[in-house]
Amino acid sequence: MRLITLIAGAALAFALAPLASAAAESPTQDPLGSSRWGDMKREFFRDERVVFDERVKVSAPATAEDAMNVPVKVDASALAGVEEVLVFADFNPIVKALSFEPGQARSVLGFRLKLQQSTPVRAAARTADGVWHVGGTWVNTTGGGCTLPSTGAGSPEWEQRLNEVSARLWPRIDGGTRLRLQVIHPMDTGLAPGIPVFHIDELGVLLAGGGQLMMIRPAEPVSENPLFTIDIPPGVLGTGAVKVSGRDNNGNRIDAEVTQ
């Protein structure tokens, strides 16, 4: 009798597993109720399959006091096989904030964002089966973050320090490593009068011995002097250094090495 009960319990758990996954996903109705969701879907995903998924988490303040520096954390680590993550804000004049490919890092990224007005901030994670899993949160702000000039653009110092990298590595409780890196760059959106668009275009974080930890492709709405936080799983980094390599949209190079 006990054996039959165990078998029945296992069968029930197996049957309920797809239901639990389906409960986390909602393929149609926008949980944030944005009037712009249809436009976002057409712009970024076209005919690809898109589901709203609670496992893709976007953390940000409910009310942002500084529209030019809104802290955002995207966490898609509950999904298996994440190949790319796209971050966008429905009501920004420049909707796309950035994208990243996790590589050997966790599919988690912290950064700061400029917002023009109150808006949903969303992350869409594409898994190996080609499905986009979308999560997000509303952020309220007084706005104006995208049309104000950067503070660096008015200072002669930024030209001498352009694309300078500062970074730090430290251990996590789970045995992994956290990397926090900052790049000196004005990240101008091109929406402030008389100031052309000028932003980091590509930022690769690489293992010194080869292999990609993460590829980040920032767009104009990322905040000035962007600060990125990346989590590296246990056993990936070892004792080696991390290399940072990239460029901005004017072709200026970014090259640095971070040691433990």
Q: In the prediction, which pLDDT does 237 show?
A: 87
Average pLDDT, the chain: 89
Per-residue pLDDT, averaged over 77-95, amounts to: 98
Closest to 53 (Cα-Cα) out of 14, 22, 74: 22
In this prediction, residues 166-175 reach a mean pLDDT of 92
Q: 23 falls in which pLDDT band (50, 70, 90)? A: very low
Domain at 108, CATH number = 2.60.40.2470
In a domain, 240, yes or no: yes
Contacting residues for 162 by C-beta, under 8 A, at least 6 apart? 184, 185, 252
Residue count of the chain, please give it. Answer: 260
At residue 24, does pLDDT exceed 70? no
Helix (H) or strand (E) holding 201: strand 200-207
SS3 content of the chain, % helix, strand, coil (to 5): 15, 40, 45
Stretch 205-221: mean pLDDT: 93
Burial of 20 (0-12, 13-18, 19+ CB in 10 A): exposed
- Residue 208, pLDDT score: 82
**How many whole angstroms separate alpha carbon 186 and alpha carbon 151?**
7
pLDDT for position 38: 95
Q: Measure the CA–CA gap between 62 and 122, rounded to whole angstroms.
A: 14
What is the per-residue pLDDT across 39-72, written as a single tens digit (0 to 9) for each?
999 999 999 999 999 999 999 999 999 999 999 9
Residue 96 predicted with pLDDT over 60: yes
Quick one: which of 259, 210, 212, 217 has its CA closest to 232?
212
Between 240 and 169, residue with greater pLDDT: 169
Q: What pTM value is reported for the model?
A: 0.89
Distances (CA, A) of 63 to 35, 117, 130, 150, 224: 20, 11, 34, 22, 20
Phi–psi pair at 13, nearest 5 degrees: -60, -40
Looking at residue 163, its pLDDT comes to 94
In-domain check, residue 4: no
- 67, part of any domain: yes
By DSSP bridging, strand 227-232 and strand 177-183 are: antiparallel
| pLDDT tens-digit readout, 108-128 | 999 999 999 999 999 999 999
- 102 lies in which domain range? 36-258
Domain count of the fold of the chain: 1
Q: How far apart are CA 220 and CA 141, in angstroms?
A: 18
Is residue 18 one of the residues assigned to a domain?
Answer: no
Q: In the chain, where does DSSP find H-type helix?
A: 2-24, 37-44, 157-161
| Residue of higher predicted confidence among 42 and 26 | 42
Does some domain include residue 40?
Answer: yes
Examine residue 58 and state whether it is found in any structural domain, yes or no: yes
Give the pLDDT band of residue 77 (cuts 50, 70, 90).
very high
For residue 163, give both structure tokens.
Answer: 């694309």
CA distances from 188 to 24, 74, 91, 198, 201 (A): 38, 23, 18, 5, 12
The confidence score (pLDDT) of residue 18 equals 45
Pairing status of strand 63-64 against strand 132-141: parallel
Res 5 pLDDT > 70: no
Query: Does 2 map to a domain?
Result: no
Rounded Cα distance between 127 and 103, Å, is 13
Domain membership of residue 94 (yes or no) is: yes
